[in-house]
DNA sequence: TTCTGTATAAACATTG
DNA sequence: GCAATGTTTATACAGA
């Protein structure tokens, strides 16, 4: 550790020219150095402090904390050093007359500010170490009390003397800190914001200058020497196994120790601080002492501080209460952990279906997501959908379909600002709806999704993935307050969309006609949106041209998944199908990108969708009969030229012809 | 400017 | 005849 520190210090030697490198020497513990006098004093004081500690005292452990802190200092200084212009550089600038006097003035001011900042940063490290030292010191006292609490009858006299000594020690340290803090504040070097007084000591003392730090260190060490001297005659506690007082493994204890020391010190330092933060003490609120079981009322903060120091000083009762509070907090934390675990399990349960199928096509999805988030939120749903129709083991749930894709493109970030709810809102709606269900149900706000997306969502939310028109209506009115008015308009739109988009397949059954979703067809509506993404196009091209394995996998999966409809259940490997669908989406996008208008004449597309369309829509089919026309669709998908078409022109054109 | 996707409105046909 | 359902057409808007 020493070597590392020394190495760092050496490598960052130039940093010592900045006044803020004062901790550097301390890290070497007496090594020769070229730091400021305050550095030597600090190092000497640290060493002096260490020497005065009982060998097995907490200070011994404390120094282990200090060392890492010290090691950080040179690093931070080194990081800042390049920003500081050396006098030589400044002279060069002046000689070259590169800068105007005004610029030079500004530059000088910046340099001064930078230097000051560096000094403060370094002092912050110093006081971080000091903070740890004090914390451990207090911890030491607390631990001592804890250990002595049980065998109190045997050592009561000794303990009392030690308690007194510790309290005096603490008070001295606190007073010194407060005095310096007050001085710093008066000098404008330290600013304490309201509500900031609860910060740790190092936060409050980051503005100290080396001279004050030096004085503080001297006083601290003198106080410690005094305490050492006082305790020299009655060190019976050393018989206890405090040789290795663990570093504050228990944050609660540490925190409490800090509280008992720091806050007292902060508050007692003077009126200035209190004016800035009169009610910031965690043990003081609404004029009441919040010490467990106390609830004493005070008119002012000063009275509270006196009460805190008098009534809740480091004694047996306070220690015991501290232990109880520790247990309370531990129980609460335990309970919190359990509840968190429960929440995680719930979320996992609800979302596992979405995460599982997405694992395989993730790269594609990632690319697509980036593209879509940039270009069009509408494109997101198809990306998230491929998995759903092809996952036999995981029944499609709307919540799961798009959850991992969406949230960034959630409605509120895109939708409501639009002047019109157009295709931009054809985004993955499941998560949004699930997350804002209450909102949509109660607020008369139009959901930022297309009719097609909403219809699809309604259908997919149904247990059998099929709904009658009236059920779709009901879903709209049930889920969205917006659709509880102007029924004629939006119902007409729903019907229009159902007929218009061939992704919605009408199926006649015993009860009448129901509507289902052809997910693949739905996904085909997306392509144009990704055409603008070079990254995605590149990715797709890779899949097409350089990824025969992927293409083969896709085609194989398509062969397996010859039933794209939800109503007929999905067949095939979820993983493979997920991948295949994802690839398919990308391919669709790529094809659209590279063959924009040629899609209508695509050989792989034209006849089959038309046949599919005819078969399903013109001929009343039994559920068993779906495999006929659907298999045709599958055959079409086997074509290397993956079809892509618009619902409008395509369907209408072919339907009209046929 | 063109193309594309969507929303809206309306007309018309079919069906129960 | 009527309402619900389904289809088709036309138009407008927005974005790429």
* CB-to-strand C contacts below 7 angstroms: A 375-376, 418-420, 422, 424, 468-470, 473, 492, 495-496, 498-500, 506, 513, 515, 531-532, 617, 651-652, 655-656
Residues A461 and A498 in one domain: yes
Task: Establish if A514 belongs to a structural domain.
Answer: yes
Residues A445 and A484 in one domain: yes
Protein contacts on strand B: list nucleotides below 7 Å from a Cβ. Answer: 3-11, 16
Query: Of A258, A292, A311, which residue sits at a domain end?
Result: A311
What residue has its CA nearest to the C1' of C9?
A: A652
Nucleic strand B contacts from chain A, 115-144, CB < 7 Å: none
Closest nucleotide to A529, Cα to C1': C16
3-state percent breakdown (helix, strand, coil) of chain A, nearest 5: 70, 5, 25
CA distances from A393 to A450, A518, A564, A570, A623 (A): 29, 19, 15, 9, 21
Residues A454 and A509 in one domain: yes
Q: CB within 8 A of A611, min separation 6: which ones?
A: A629, A632
SS3 A35: coil
Tokens at A240, concatenated: 């206890």
Closest CA to A281 of A261, A267, A298: A267
Is the C-alpha dihedral spanning A453, A454, A457, A462 positive or negative?
negative
A429 CA, B4 C1': separation in Å? 22
A434 CA, C12 C1': separation in Å? 32
User: How confident is the model over A522-560, as pLDDT tens digits?
Assistant: 877 654 333 333 333 333 333 333 333 333 333 333 333
Kindly report each contact of residues A368-374 with a partner whose C-beta sits within 8 Å and lies 24 or more positions away, as own/partner.
A368/A530, A368/A536, A368/A582, A368/A585, A368/A586, A368/A589, A369/A405, A369/A408, A370/A533, A370/A535, A370/A536, A371/A529, A371/A530, A371/A532, A371/A533, A371/A535, A371/A536, A372/A409, A372/A529, A372/A530, A373/A408, A373/A409, A374/A533
A462 CA, C1 C1': separation in Å? 35
Residues A319 and A289 in one domain: no
| pLDDT, position A649 | 37
User: How confident is the model over A105-135, as pLDDT tens digits?
Assistant: 665 576 666 566 666 655 565 555 455 655 5
Closest nucleotide to A525, Cα to C1': B5
Query: Of A301, A335, A351, which residue sits at a domain end?
Result: A351
A364 CA, C16 C1': separation in Å? 22
Contact A24, A11 (CB under 8 A): no
Q: What is the pTM of this model?
A: 0.29
A370 CA, B5 C1': separation in Å? 21
Strand B contacted by A476 CB (< 7 A): no
Strand B contacted by A524 CB (< 7 A): no
SS3 A163: helix
Q: Around Cβ A271, how many Cβ atoms within 10 Å?
A: 11
Strand B contacted by A497 CB (< 7 A): yes
Cα A400 to Cα A411: distance, rounded to the nearest angstrom: 17
Query: Of A472, A505, A524, which residue sits at a domain end?
Result: A524
Residues A513 and A474 in one domain: yes
Radius of gyration of chain A (CA): 36
Supply φ then ψ for residue A7, to 5 degrees: -65, -45
Cα A633 to Cα A611: distance, rounded to the nearest angstrom: 8
Looking at the DSSP bridge assignments, the partners of residue A395 are none
B/e letters for A483-510, b = 16+ CB within 10 Å, e = fewer, are beeeeeebbebbeebbebbbbbbbbeee
Q: CB within 8 A of A383, min separation 6: which ones?
A: A364, A365, A368, A369, A372, A405, A428, A523, A526, A582, A585
Task: Establish if A457 belongs to a structural domain.
Answer: yes
Cα A219 to Cα A545: distance, rounded to the nearest angstrom: 76
Closest nucleotide to A597, Cα to C1': B3
| Cα A149 from chain centre | 42
Task: Establish if A142 belongs to a structural domain.
Answer: yes
Find the farthest-apart pair of alpha carbons in chain A and give their distance in angstroms, rounded: 109
| pLDDT, position A272 | 35
A176 CA, B9 C1': separation in Å? 82
Cα A505 to Cα A651: distance, rounded to the nearest angstrom: 12
A476 CA, C1 C1': separation in Å? 30
Closest CA to A16 of A345, A463, A31: A31
Residues A439 and A493 in one domain: yes
Task: Establish if A496 belongs to a structural domain.
Answer: yes
Contact A633, A564 (CB under 8 A): yes
Residues A444 and A478 in one domain: yes
Strand B contacted by A70 CB (< 7 A): no
A42 CA, C10 C1': separation in Å? 86
A605 CA, B9 C1': separation in Å? 31
Strand B contacted by A450 CB (< 7 A): yes
Closest CA to A379 of A519, A521, A575, A589: A589
Strand B contacted by A650 CB (< 7 A): no
Strand B contacted by A418 CB (< 7 A): no
Nucleic strand B contacts from chain A, 584-613, CB < 7 Å: 596-597
Task: Establish if A609 belongs to a structural domain.
Answer: no
A651 CA, C10 C1': separation in Å? 17
Cα A193 to Cα A29: distance, rounded to the nearest angstrom: 35
Residues A294 and A338 in one domain: no
Residues A462 and A492 in one domain: yes
Strand B contacted by A496 CB (< 7 A): yes
Angle, vertex CA A284, rays to CA A282 and CA A286, nearest 5: 125
Contact A380, A366 (CB under 8 A): no
Looking at the DSSP bridge assignments, the partners of residue A514 are A507
A568 CA, C14 C1': separation in Å? 37
Tokens at A294, concatenated: 């106390």
Domain containing residue A300: 283-311
| DSSP E strand stretches across A224-322 | 284-285, 288-289
Cα A462 to Cα A195: distance, rounded to the nearest angstrom: 52
Contact A507, A467 (CB under 8 A): no
Cα A279 to Cα A196: distance, rounded to the nearest angstrom: 11
Task: Establish if A629 belongs to a structural domain.
Answer: no
Which residue reads 């069009």 in tokens? A376
| pLDDT, position A441 | 85
Cα A547 to Cα A544: distance, rounded to the nearest angstrom: 6
Residues A326 and A292 in one domain: no
A650 CA, C8 C1': separation in Å? 14
How would you class A302 by CB atoms within 10 Å of its CB: exposed for 0-12, middle for 13-18, buried for 19 or more? middle
Closest CA to A204 of A270, A260, A120: A120
Contact A398, A434 (CB under 8 A): yes
DSSP state of A5: H
Protein contacts on strand C: list nucleotides below 7 Å from a Cβ. Answer: 4-10, 13-16
Task: Establish if A482 belongs to a structural domain.
Answer: yes
Which residues in chain A come in under a pLDDT of 70?
Answer: 1-108, 110-279, 322, 324, 328, 346-432, 511, 525-658
Residues A289 and A327 in one domain: no
DSSP state of A57: S
Residues A457 and A504 in one domain: yes
* Helix segments in A527-647, DSSP class H: 534-541, 548-560, 574-594, 607-613, 627-638
Is the C-alpha dihedral spanning A348, A349, A350, A356 positive or negative?
positive
| pLDDT, position A328 | 67
CATH number at residue A461: 1.10.10.10
Nucleic strand B contacts from chain A, 337-396, CB < 7 Å: 378
Task: Establish if A548 belongs to a structural domain.
Answer: no
The tally of domains found in chain A comes to 4
What residue has its CA nearest to the C1' of C4?
A: A470
Tell me how far apart the terminal alpha carbons of chain A are, to the nearest angstrom: 84
């Amino acid at each position: 550790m020493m070597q590392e520190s020394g190495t760092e210090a050496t490598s960052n030697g130039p940093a010592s020219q900045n006044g803020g490198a004062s901790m550097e020497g301390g890290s070497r513990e007496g090594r020769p150095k070229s730091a400021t006098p305050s550095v030597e004093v600090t190092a000497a004081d640290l060493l002096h402090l260490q020497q005065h500690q009982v060998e097995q005292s907490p200070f011994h452990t404390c120094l282990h904390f200090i060392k890492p802190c010290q090691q950080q200092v040179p690093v931070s200084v080194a990081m800042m050093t390049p920003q500081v212009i050396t006098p030589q550089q400044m002279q060069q600038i002046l000689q070259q007359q590169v800068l105007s006097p005004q610029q030079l003035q500004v530059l000088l001011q910046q340099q001064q500010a930078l230097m000051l900042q560096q000094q403060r940063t370094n002092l912050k490290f110093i006081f971080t170490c000091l903070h740890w030292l004090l914390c451990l010191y207090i911890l030491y006292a607390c631990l001592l009390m804890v250990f002595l609490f049980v065998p109190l009858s045997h050592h009561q006299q000794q303990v009392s003397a030690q308690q007194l000594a510790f309290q005096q020690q603490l008070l001295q340290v606190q007073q010194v800190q407060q005095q310096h803090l007050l001085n710093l504040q008066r000098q404008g070097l330290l600013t304490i914001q309201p509500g900031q007084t609860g910060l740790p000591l190092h936060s409050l003392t980051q503005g100290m200058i080396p001279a004050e730090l030096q004085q503080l260190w001297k006083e601290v060490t003198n106080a410690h020497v005094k305490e050492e001297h006082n305790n020299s005659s009655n060190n019976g506690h050393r018989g206890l196994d405090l040789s290795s007082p663990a570093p504050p493994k228990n944050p609660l204890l540490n925190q409490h120790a800090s509280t008992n020391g720091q806050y007292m010190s902060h508050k007692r330092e003077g009126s200035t601080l209190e004016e800035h933060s009169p009610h910031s003490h965690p043990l003081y609120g609404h004029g009441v002492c919040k010490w467990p079981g106390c609830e004493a009322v005070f008119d002012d903060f000063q009275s509270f501080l006196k009460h805190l120091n008098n009534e809740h000083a480091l004694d047996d009762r306070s220690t015991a209460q501290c232990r109880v509070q520790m247990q309370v907090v531990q129980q609460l934390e335990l309970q919190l952990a359990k509840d968190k675990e429960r929440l995680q399990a719930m979320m996992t349960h609800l979302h596992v279906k979405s995460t599982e199928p997405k694992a395989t096509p993730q790269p594609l999805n990632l690319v697509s997501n980036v593209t879509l988030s940039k270009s069009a939120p509408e494109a997101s749903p198809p990306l998230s959908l491929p998995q759903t129709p092809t996952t036999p083991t995981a029944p499609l749930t709307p919540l799961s379909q798009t959850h991992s894709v969406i949230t960034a493109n959630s409605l509120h970030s895109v939708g409501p600002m639009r002047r019109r709810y157009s295709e931009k809102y054809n985004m993955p709606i499941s998560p949004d709806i699930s997350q804002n269900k209450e909102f949509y149900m109660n607020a008369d706000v139009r959901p930022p999704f297309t009719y097609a997306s909403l219809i699809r969502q309604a259908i997919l939310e149904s247990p059998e993935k099929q709904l009658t028109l009236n059920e779709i209506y009901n879903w709209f009115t049930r889920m969205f307050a917006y659709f509880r008015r102007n029924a004629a308009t939006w119902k007409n739109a729903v019907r229009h969309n159902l007929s218009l988009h061939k992704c919605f397949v009408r199926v006649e059954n015993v009860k009448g006609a129901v509507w289902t979703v052809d997910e693949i067809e739905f996904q085909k509506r997306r392509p144009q949106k990704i055409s603008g993404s070079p990254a995605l196009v590149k990715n797709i091209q890779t899949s097409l041209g350089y990824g025969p394995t992927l293409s083969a996998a896709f085609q194989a999966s398509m062969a397996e998944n010859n039933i794209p409809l939800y109503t007929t259940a999905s067949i095939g490997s979820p993983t493979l199908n997920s991948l295949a669908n994802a690839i398919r989406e990308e391919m669709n996008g790529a094809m659209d990108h590279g063959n924009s208008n040629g899609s209508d004449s695509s050989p792989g597309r034209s006849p089959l969708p038309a046949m599919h369309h005819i078969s399903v829509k013109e001929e009343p089919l039994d559920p068993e009969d779906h495999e006929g026309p659907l298999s045709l669709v599958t055959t079409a998908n086997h074509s290397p030229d993956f079809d892509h078409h618009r619902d409008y022109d395509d369907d209408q054109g072919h339907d009209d012809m046929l």
